[in-house]
Amino acid sequence: MSTVLMNGVFIPREEAKVDIEDRGYQFGDGIYEVIRVYNGKMFTAKEHFERLQASCEKINIPISFTVDNLTVLLEELIKRNALHNGIIYMQFTRGTSPRNHAFPTKEIAPTFVAYTKELNRPVTNLSNGVTAITVEDIRWFRCDIKSLNLLGNIMAKQKAAEAGCFESIQYRDLTVTEGSSSNIWVVKDQVIRTHEANQYILNGITRQKIVEICQKQGMEVKEEAFSIEDLIDADEVFLSSTTSEVTPIITINNVPVATGEVGEITRRLQDYFKEEIIAQCGELE
Ligand code: PDD
């Protein structure tokens, strides 16, 4: 039986219940984070906590937990569930109040839930790459907030699933924004590019780590939007996320990316990224 953390208290999963008028349940009025755990240790936890706080501030959800509080609580959750490799999912909603679109005028406590899930590194996808399709980005203009409102994202992911593909690469007008649950990268003539961090994408923690790695390793990286044409014409394409790390994309809309082989720069970034994981969490199997 697994343990979950609910409003600061550890309880059995079966006992964790949400009120029908919780605003997260009714409106998607809340935010979330997914943190990777390797060898029982959280990877880039501080960055995830900072983004969580930023998301809360952007939609005016007051949270009383500090980064230190959260670290202690989540480390305890990992221990109680004997989590070795997996994720922590956590979310804050605005709380429970009689249904009304506007924020409650009375002060209410946010609802906080965190639980763990076992998940191994996606070694086959990392090694062989995955397939993708392109879809129109129908989401709102505040994709920088890691909001619980994921309808646009799940509609996009469902299209990929129906096409037998792993991911949907979204575009607005002719500009590539991001994947349904990942950031998208292209490599052309040794230059690595991903959409700039603004309101059209979620500034992935994995994305930020990759930018840092490129700068440290002297690899040319540009945070600027690129077009669908650049995507189709790229030497290499890959996606990044907490669960997928640096995953090569080898076909888009059934057409191979360049030769259809995983590219050399993607491989190098995978290796450097793995070194970062090892440095924080210890040797990987
Ligand atoms: N998704 N863009 C979107 C829309 C995402 O949902 C995610 C992550 C990312 C990558 O962010 P990060 O590197 O911080 O994981 C980009 C998570 C994993 C999810 O929803 O499960």
pTM of structure: 0.98
C-beta 182 within 6 A of ligand 1:
yes
Tens-place pLDDT, residues 118-170: 999 999 999 999 999 999 999 999 999 999 999 999 999 999 999 999 999 99
For every residue of 160-208, DSSP letters joined together read HHHTT-SEEEEEETTEEEEESSSEEEEEETTEEEE--SSTTS---HHHH
- Per domain, the residue ranges of the chain are 3-118, 123-281
Beta-strand pair 236-241/226-227: unpaired
Interval 39-44 mean pLDDT: 98
CATH number for region 3-118: 3.30.470.10
Q: Which atom of ligand 1 is nearest to the CA of 209?
A: 13
For ligand 1, the distance from its centroid to the CA atom of residue 243, given in whole angstroms, is 8
pLDDT value at 33 more than 90: yes
CATH architecture of 123-281: Alpha-Beta Barrel (3.20)
For ligand 1, the distance from its centroid to the CA atom of residue 107, given in whole angstroms, is 31
pLDDT value at 90 more than 90: yes
Is 157 catalytic? The answer is no
Q: Please give the backbone phi and psi of residue 51, each rounded to the nearest 5 degrees, phi first.
A: -65, -40
